[in-house]
Each structure stands twice: as structure tokens, then as C-alpha cells.
Amino acid sequence: MVDDVHYRTAEALAESDATRQAFNRDQEAADLLEGFPRGMVRATSPKWLAAHTTQHTAAERERRAQVSTVKECEGACKQESVKTTAAKKHSEEIEANIGESRAEIEAIEKHEHYKVRDG
């Protein structure tokens, strides 16, 4: 039993030591990385800013082009809507004329001078 206790104690101490070593490695890495962002910002800021500005400019140009395209499409849609309304009105006028013509034809056909007389 004593050996078992010694073994488990040694195991726990080894795990504790491994945990402490991992913590120390993490702390060293954190210390190294702490200054990294500031150094990178100083080294890359002009490049990053130029790339970001270029990207922003391109995105703005694309946005303006898209807005222009949408406005052109809206204008074309309004024009076609006006044309459609005019065509519908014209179609209704034609249908009314057809109705009037049919009524005139029917009146002519019913007129006594039009009827064929048996001889």
C-alpha cells in the first residue's frame, strides 16, 4: 500500500511539474508575443494603410457603378411602364373600335336593303 501511495504521489508531482512547465512556456510565449503587434503595426502600417485605401477606393468605385446601374435600370423600367400604359390604352381603344365596327356590321346586315330578296 505504501508503494502505491508513493507511486501516486510521484505521479501527481510529475503532472504538477508538467503543468508548471506548460504554464511557464505559455508565459514565455505570451511575453514574446506581447510586443509583436506593436512591432508589426509599425512595420506594416504604411503598407496596410495603402492596401486598405486601395481596397476601399475600389469598393467605393464598384458601389458607385452599381448605384449608377440601378438608376439606369429604374429609368428604363419607368420608360417601359409608360410605354406599357400607353399600349394598354391603345389596345382598349382598338377593342372599343372593334365593338363599334361589329355593331355597325350587324346594323347593316339587318337593314332591309342588305337582305337578299328572293326573286
If one counts the domains in the chain, the total is 1
How does DSSP classify residue 116? P
Q: pLDDT > 70: what percent of the chain?
A: 75
Instruction: State the pLDDT at residue 80.
Output: 92
pLDDT, tens digit, 9 for 90 and up, residues 5-42: 556 666 766 777 777 787 778 777 777 777 666 666 66
In a domain, 106, yes or no: yes
Torsion angle defined by CA atoms of residues 70, 72, 73 and 75, in that order, rounded to the nearest 10 degrees: 120
In a domain, 1, yes or no: no
Count the alpha carbons within 13 Å of 50 in the hemisphere toward its beta carbon.
4
In a domain, 7, yes or no: no
In a domain, 70, yes or no: yes
Instruction: State the pLDDT at residue 35.
Output: 67
Q: Is the pLDDT of residue 4 over 70?
A: no
At a CB cut-off of 8 Å and minimum separation 6, what does 114 contact? 108
Q: Who wins on pLDDT, 115 or 111?
A: 111
Q: Who wins on pLDDT, 25 or 72?
A: 72
User: Which domain covers residue 77, as residue numbers?
Assistant: 16-110
In a domain, 59, yes or no: yes
- Report H helices in the chain: 2-34, 36-110
